[in-house]
Amino acid sequence: MWLMRQAGRYLPEYRAVRKKLDFLTMVKTPEIAAEITLQPIRRFDLDAAVIYSDLLPPLQTMGLDLHFEKGVGPVIDNPIRSTKQVDLLATPPAGETMPFTPEAIRLVKQELGDRVPVIGFAGCPFTLSAYAIEGGGSKKYELTRRFMYQEPAAWRRLMDKMVTVAGSFLGEQAKAGADALQVFDSWAGVLSRYDYERYVAPYSAKLIAIAQKTGLPVIHFSTGTAGHLDAIAAAGGDAIGVDSGPSLREARERIGDSRPLQGNLDPYLLQAPWRELKAQADRVLDEAPETGHVFNTGHGLVPATPPDAVARLTDYVRERTSRSA
């Protein structure tokens, strides 16, 4: 199975829209989000569509002032710095505050029917909390870890609130017709195994359990967690996403072969000569478990990715997996 998240973000059609509108406006306008979701499906022979959205809009509904700055990324003007701020965070139902992504899913499903499944997603509690505390991205997440260690009770309350908001958002996407759900823990790799298991895993497990109550398969994806992929897997998920760090063989040794894996081609390889890209695609396919594999990059594509490379790789993976089926 072939899936390329963000495959459409660097097509000329997307760039033309991006010049006119800011990111959050596109995410919150269902017709635009649906069109951007559909662009890579029209261009490439993909097996699934990932709804055009972002991890962070749920933070706005909680009372955090989020915006995106060009060349910087997400910025929160009132980051969490105290336990009182945690207690003041709202947890409104996503159906009331974030109708735009479910509506985009409905529009995409109307266009695609049963031809291509649609994947919805949300951020894991730790990644959402890290953004909320740091006020944006960070290299070391020092403020987050300091808050986690110094205010353990407030940390638990914060993580539970993130579970509530993200779980509600996933539920609305399921009601709108999503065929699968994915949870992203983009920053879990900054933690030690011990800290992950103590401060994070219980809340990821809660979120995944909520998502699984929809009856949809749930993909659990994290980055930088090669050393404790087994702990990631223990937190739950019907399939486990693997970034570009470990090989799929290493991932299988840590997780076992009981669940499908997703990944894990280095996205920068799509800028490499075809001989290298092909060789590494073959390596990923050769290491894929028999229990199932979603061929994917280990993270989102980068702006310099040539669309023709995506098309060629997609066609090659399609051809090779069809021969071996």
Q: Which residues are catalytic?
A: 5, 9, 18, 54, 131
Which tokens belong to 245?
A: 């760090």
Burial 28-38 (b: 16+ CB within 10 A, else e): bbbebbbbbbb
Contact between 28 and 72 under an 8 Å Cβ cutoff? The reply is no
The single residue listed with the structure tokens 């760090």 is: 245
How far, CA to CA in Å, does 91 sit from each of 46, 74, 132, 157, 166? 36, 21, 14, 12, 10
- Burial environment of residue 72 by CB neighbours within 10 A (0 to 12, 13 to 18, 19 or more): exposed
CA-closest candidate to residue 124, choices 182, 46, 71: 182
